[in-house]
Structure 1
Amino acid sequence: MSSISDTQLSVFQDHSGLTTRPCKWSILPDADHRQLQRHLELCDAARQPASTLLAYVLQHKIMATKPVGNIHASDLVTGGCRVIYSVDDGPIQTGLLAHRARTGQASGVIPVCSLLGATLIGMRVGQRAPLLREDKTIGTISVLSVVQPS
């Protein structure tokens, strides 16, 4: 079964006033989707330059994913999973995706409330996506494997 719905999102304006084109939905567990909304609210309240980039990525992820209850997809990147990925076809990296982590915490933890974490959540094994960096450059991230929490 495909993870992409045929439903199209309508055109909307993001925080910067830019118009975003329709895209297809991917799925995300309800709890992760709600957490993304909370992270976006915190970014909006912070009103710091770094928060603007993160808010853009979070808003896009929220609008491009459809919350689904009672889902188990072993290839879907969700909060609490260990994800193995590569940036710009570089070395293989791994990390535990966590909603309650803070940027700069112990190695091996990827906060969902970071540009990397917000990009990874909702991706599937084999999927590639643009990765916005804090220096405003764009790379490419590839999901190689996902290990769901037991």
Structure 2
Amino acid sequence: MSSIRPIRPSRPETPPGTKTRSCTGSILPEADYRHLRHHLNQCENTGKPASQFLSQVILRKLATREPAPDADTRDLVTGGCHVVYSVDRKPAVTGLLVHRARSGGVSGVIPVSSLLGATLIGMRVGQRAPLLRKDGTIATVSVLGVIQPD
């Protein structure tokens, strides 16, 4: 038997009472954060293989974002906004990001409970991120613009 143990990096001491942020310092409006938790519960309850991909994307999003009651959303992709994005540097597309999409899918509507929607929510204009596709391949999505509802 080997007595080798993995080395774990130490964390710097944080003074008591100090508020800490996630490693990226990214935020999400509280309502969007709550909706993501709901979407995660829905994924876990379906048990479908496709939901496993989506649940991993949502888990990562929740782990790297903090809910904020007064988030500056001018350039932040949030539920209810129109987002201009590009996948793999193809021509720009505009879609309405929604938490509650109806079945049958209206053209131009991006459900947050989709791989694209879960990836886009919480991103800012100018950011790029890996986009997991249903077939397991990975593309790159870039946020080009955000139009918040009035």
TM-score grouping bracket, smaller chain normalisation: 0.7 to 0.9
Query: TM-score scaled by structure 2?
Result: 0.84
Gap regions ≥5 residues in structure 1: 1-5, 9-22
Distance 2:56 2:104 in 1: 21
Q: Go from structure 1 to structure 2 and tell me whether the alpha carbon gap of 1:103 and 1:76 turns closer, same or farther (over 3 Å shift).
A: farther
Alignment-derived partner of residue 57 in structure 2: 57
Work out which of the residue numbers 21, 43, 65 in structure 2 matches 1:7: 21
Question: Are the counterparts in 2 of residues 125 and 143 from structure 1 also a CA contact under 8 Å?
Answer: yes
Alignment-derived partner of residue 82 in structure 1: 82
Q: Structure 2: which amino acid aligns with 1:7?
A: R
Q: Go from structure 1 to structure 2 and tell me whether the alpha carbon gap of 1:118 and 1:24 turns closer, same or farther (over 3 Å shift).
A: same
Distance 2:50 2:123 in 1: 23
User: Would you identify which runs of 4 or more consecutive aligned residues in structure 1 move more than 2 Å?
Assistant: 70-73
Q: From the CA coordinates, give the structure whose radius of gyration is larger.
A: 2
Report the Cα offset of residue 24 of structure 1.
Answer: 1.9
Query: TM-score scaled by structure 1?
Result: 0.84
CA RMSD of aligned residues (A): 1.6
Q: Go from structure 1 to structure 2 and tell me whether the alpha carbon gap of 1:115 and 1:102 turns closer, same or farther (over 3 Å shift).
A: farther
Question: Are the counterparts in 1 of residues 27 and 71 from structure 2 also a CA contact under 8 Å?
Answer: no
Alignment-derived partner of residue 131 in structure 1: 131
Q: What's the % identity of the aligned pairs? A: 59
Alignment-derived partner of residue 14 in structure 1: none
After TM superposition, the structure 1 = structure 2 runs for residues 1-40 of structure 1, keeping only pairs within 5 Å, are: 7-8=21-22, 23-40=23-40
Alignment-derived partner of residue 94 in structure 1: 94
Alignment-derived partner of residue 12 in structure 1: none
Q: Go from structure 1 to structure 2 and tell me whether the alpha carbon gap of 1:63 and 1:52 turns closer, same or farther (over 3 Å shift).
A: same
Equivalent residue of 1:67, what SS? strand
